[in-house]
Amino acid sequence: MKLCIIGPEKRSDSEIELMETAKDKFDSILYAPIEMIRIETCKKKAVPFLKNTNLLDFDVILPRVDKKNADFCYVLLKIFEQHGIFSSLSSESILYGYNEFLLPFMLNNRMIQTPRTYLAMSRPAIEKSIGTMIYPAILKLPYSKAGTIILDSPESAKGVVDTLETLNQPITLQETFNDALAISVLVIGSDAYAVNGKKKKYKLTRDEISTVMSVSQVLKAGICQINLMKANDQVMVAGFNIKPRISFYSDIYEKDLLEKSISYLKNHAAIKKENPVFSKFLEWVRDMRWKSDE
């Protein structure tokens, strides 16, 4: 069985660790820098290549892409899906996971709670909301490669929004809470490993597990990180990470979660390849398992 890891040209320690772990599980491994991949369209189909290597010849795809490459990765995963190639992520997870407004919009439509989020195309459009929001708030640019800005008052929000208006792109503001508990959760299939803001193990409640697994199912993401915010005994989904630092959770849980991740990829790819009907059945069973906990 052949594994292709798609990531940035400069490999991080996480990509190197995954490759080392995968050597014992896969017959061959290719690291494909996304900047070096090209897509050729011919004879009514699209084919991704790395130099002369046809990436459709691989059995498993593990995307480890940054936000700046999300659009191209979305197209790649669409092609792999059309050819029935197993991946740890779906094209939907790339489309929604890296967009700061589409994610809460889509999750809210699925009755999954997120912090209150505001989106506008200009300062005048969002100005009314600035005065009524709960602070601190987080400012994000949905189509920017930049990070986030923490705003502690309406005055600071107005100043930053005025400055960013020159960028001529949508502005997203998301409420947060001073006393909120931040929880990051690594998902590997149907298993979840949670860490609190103090970098210690966190035991998820039944409702929190249900929320995490609902997000994983909606985005069709087998290996990912889901960020939660807990305030006033309510848990909300604050973010989604396509390329979690798996070794970070391994150290805290004292478990080889890199090996678990690679085994998950190999086992599920084998099931999908040998018995696609049974693979669909397993997905249904997983959905029913977590829905029964809701």
> Which two structure tokens, joined as six digits, stand for 12?
């991080």
Percent of all residues in the chain with a pLDDT value above 70, rounded to a whole number: 89
- Every domain of the chain and the residues it spans: 2-97, 116-175, 181-291
For residue 42, name the pLDDT band (cuts at 50, 70, 90): confident
Superfamily (CATH) of domain 116-175: ATP-grasp fold, A domain (3.30.1490.20)
- Name the pTM for this structure: 0.86
Q: What average pLDDT does the segment 115-144 reach?
A: 82
Q: At what angle do helices 246-253 and 13-22 cross, to 10 degrees?
A: 70
* Of 142 and 173, more confident: 173
Q: How big is the CA angle at 189 (ends 185 and 194), to the nearest 5 degrees?
A: 15
* Of 76 and 234, more confident: 76
Mean pLDDT score of the chain, rounded to an integer?
A: 87
For residue 181, name the pLDDT band (cuts at 50, 70, 90): very high
DSSP 238-286: EEEESS--HHHHHHHHTS-HHHHHHHHHHHHHHHHHH-HHHHHHHHHHH
> Which residue, chain included where needed, has tokens 């929000």?
157
> Which two structure tokens, joined as six digits, stand for 77?
């995963």
Q: How big is the CA angle at 92 (ends 90 and 94), to the nearest 5 degrees?
A: 80
Tell me if 116-175 shares its fold with 181-291: no
* Of 288 and 294, more confident: 288
Is domain 2-97 in CATH 3.40.50.20, yes or no? yes
Is domain 181-291 in CATH 3.90.1200.10, yes or no? no
67-86 per-position pLDDT tens digit:
889 999 999 999 999 999 99
Buried b (16+ CB within 10 A) or exposed e, 134-147: ebbbbbbbeebeee
Most confident of 48-57, 64-73, 121-130: 48-57
Percent of all residues in the chain with a pLDDT value above 90, rounded to a whole number: 59
Give the model's pLDDT for residue 92.
93
